[in-house]
Amino acid sequence: MGDWSSPTFLGLEESELGPWDIVVLPVPLEISVSYGEGTERGPDACIEASSQVELNDRVLENDLPCGFKILTAPKWSSDAPSLREQLNSIRDYVKKWIRSADFPLILGGEHGILLPIIEAMENHRLVRKISDITIVQIDAHADLRDELNGERFSHGTVIRRSLEAGVGNVVQIGVRALSSEEESMIRQDDRIQTWFAGDLLSVSEHLSNWDKMIASISEIEGPVWITFDVDGLDGSLVPSTGTPMPGGLSHWGAVEIIENLFSSEKCTVIGADINEIVPDTQGSLTQFSAALVSTKIVACHIANLINNNA
């Protein structure tokens, strides 16, 4: 089934016997990167960094995992000759694991991993059809191009491809770099709601617009998939991601978004991917920031499990 001797998420002891409450899936895809490289090393680096993250979280009364079962699965790999075939392999890999755990947490790898993940969600017990899903995208980039460097399944096209695959709605948070093609699509497609970083975080605007954004995501209904490109964070927090951008979310801004999504009574977060993780060569801040985001998502999901079982 794979190498069970590898490091585990948060450094926890794990059981090979399922079912599990959460499965951590490393997907080290790197094939269509357009600037910085290194995403193939990102999942391993994030898991290694997570062993240094505190197990105490303010949404929980006890330390993680609070009696719940987490599995760090053997990582995906493929030698398929084309990008689309590699994405198909990722889809099949994710499908296999969501039969064993309700909540997948997927560590990437370039953002192109999202499309096969969404395709695999047809097999999730909480999804009747793909159009019920709302993607909440934290990202510096809109990822709505029709093609990037001649590739239609690139990291820069993945949100557009996900909409074409049938996703019902996309809420983008923190976008601050986009093409005129993408800006036009945002204006014209009512399935897309974009909260630009400049409107959320500029000194004169951020208080009122930030509160409006938080209120808006609390009104999302149905199944939600979180796709968290780490370049959505300010570049000072993720200096090694492929295209680190200034003017992004703070750590605490990301925490507030995640906590509000999980505490909403109207939507259900069915899983998440944290992508574009590139390990620092002169330190560990990028992978540690990714590990903190990942741990917050796990803690919020477990808090919901506890509340639902109370």
- Report whether the peptide linkage leading into residue 104 is cis, meaning its omega lies within 30 degrees of zero: no
Predicted pLDDT at 6: 84
Residue 53 lies in a domain: yes
Residue 138 lies in a domain: yes
Is 86 part of any domain?
yes
pLDDT at 243 over 90: no
Report how many domains make up the chain: 1
Specify the pLDDT at position 106.
98
Token couple for 153: 């399944």
- Residue 298, domain member (yes or no): yes
Residue 220 region, left (φ>0) first, then alpha (ψ -120 to 50), else beta?
beta
* CATH number of the domain enclosing 248: 3.40.800.10
**Dihedral, CA of residue 88, residue 296, residue 270 and residue 258, to nearest 10:** -110
Q: Residue 13 has what pLDDT?
A: 95
Domain membership flag for residue 1:
no
Parent domain of 185: 21-309
Indicate whether 37 pLDDT > 80: no
Q: Which two tokens stand for residue 107?
A: 């560590």
Arithmetic mean of pLDDT, 202-209: 71
Q: What is the pLDDT of residues 4-34, one digit of tens each?
A: 568 999 999 999 888 999 999 999 998 755 4
8: in domain:
no
Is position 279 within any domain? Answer: yes
Strands (E), 96-221: 101-108, 134-138, 169-175, 192-196
* pLDDT of res. 121: 95
Please write the tens of the pLDDT for every residue from 89-125: 999 999 999 988 889 999 999 999 999 999 999 889 8
Q: pLDDT per residue over 149-201, tens digit each?
A: 777 778 889 999 999 999 999 999 999 999 999 999 999 999 999 999 999 99
Q: Is 115 among the domain residues?
A: yes
Element (H, E) at 46: helix 42-50
Task: Give residue 6's region: left, alpha or beta (phi > 0; psi -120 to 50).
Answer: beta
Q: What is the pLDDT of residue 34?
A: 47
| 107 closest CA partner among 211, 1, 23 | 23
Half-sphere exposure of 230 (CA within 13 A, CB side): 34
Q: What are phi and psi of 281, to 5 degrees?
A: -95, -20
Query: pLDDT for 63-86, tens place per residue?
Result: 999 999 999 999 999 999 898 999
